[in-house]
Amino acid sequence: MQSRVNESSRLVSALQVVIGGHVFAAGVATYFGNDTWYSKYLMPTLHRLIDPETAHRWAVRAAHYGLVKRPRLPEHPELKCSMWKINFNSPVGLAAGFDKNAEAVDGMLRLGFGFVEVGTVTPEPQPGNDKPRLFRLREDKAVINRYGFNSEGFKAVLDRLTTRNMEPFESGVVGVNIGKNKTSTDAIGDYVRGVETFSSLADYIVINISSPNTEGLRDLQHIEHLEKLISKVVNVRDKLPGKKPPLLVKISPDLTTKQKEDIASVILRKGRGIAGLVVCNTTVSRPDSLRSEHKSEQGGLSGQPLRDLATSTIKDMYRLTKGAVPIIGVGGISTGQDAYEKIRAGASLVQLYTSFIYEGPPVVKRVTNELAQLLRDDGFTNISQAVGIDAKK
């Protein structure tokens, strides 16, 4: 009898050691950012256990508290670049939509992003659209969202960025993406307020007029509205004392050829003062290749199915603006090759977000390293030499 008790105790002890060892190993792999652990085990497991919006909130909090170790990134001199008199240590940035309320800026810079774009931020707090409003299309490595600019408002984000500037913080570029309130009767006034609010703190400001999840927002891309909007925000920015950040416009991938031509003509006109384009936002189109049960959900589609459409739109806008307007390329970037294709299409900088959902923090280091190697393989000593090379053919 005693021998059975001893055997049972040894078995329990052995199980405790094995389970404890696995938990410890998992914790180490998570903290140190093991690429295979994240992409093949941790992220798929979390996706099975946690709904998308809860996972998003937890990821922001994890970044806020620095729960993942800073990766060791080698120096890549070929990736250093200057845009709008701003120095970027890396052209790989975090797209708007992840850190909507500026809660995790330093945490995301710490992961290796060269720049972080917070927002979209609206003048007044608003809850956004009804839940559920975020859907993973796992088979397609894609996401559909219809958040609808859920935001804590200008004041909350301004307070966080102001506090950040009074404390030691991570080096890196911080942009602010601004939008209009859902119930606003003066859309242009909302953007004017955004420029007035954030000009002293933002390294650049993005005028987001292309989300498909706020009724009427995309109408601001039409030439008659765009003319007025740009004129107003540029005039306000130019009259502000002190710092005058570059203003960029974020456009849709679903534009017609005529709309792209109109946008390019407005941006290029002398004195308009728009420094760049963010190309592009999510798409309302649904490729036939989609397999997920969520493929028919309303909202904007991002991730791998957007990749080629985004690259094509970048190339179109680079050609239409004659390479005179710097572009931040967004949409479907999960590898260095994806980023490189957007650079060669005309993007000077790139952003990712959806691949971060599926592959976790290690994707930042991997994309950065792969992009640097591709530049070297093609004989480029700086990323600027590759910008638009395919659009010039």
> Which residues touch 277 (CB under 8 Å, ≥6 apart)?
248, 249, 250, 251, 267, 317, 321, 325, 326, 327, 328
Distance CA 352, CA 270 (A): 31
Token pair listed for 234: 């540029």
Give the pair of three-digit tokens for residue 153.
């408002």
Q: Which active-site residues does the annotation give?
A: 211
Distance CA 42, CA 45 (A): 5
Q: Cβ(120)–Cβ(179) under 8 Å?
A: yes
The two three-digit tokens of residue 67, written as one number: 């729960």
**Which of 220, 219, 216, 217 minimizes the C-alpha distance to 228?**
220
Encode burial over 88-121: b for 16+ CB neighbours within 10 A, e otherwise.
Answer: bbbbbbbbbbbbbbbbbbbbbbbbbbbbbbbbbb
Give the three-state DSSP class for 76.
Answer: coil
Q: How far is CA 9 from the centre of its chain?
A: 52
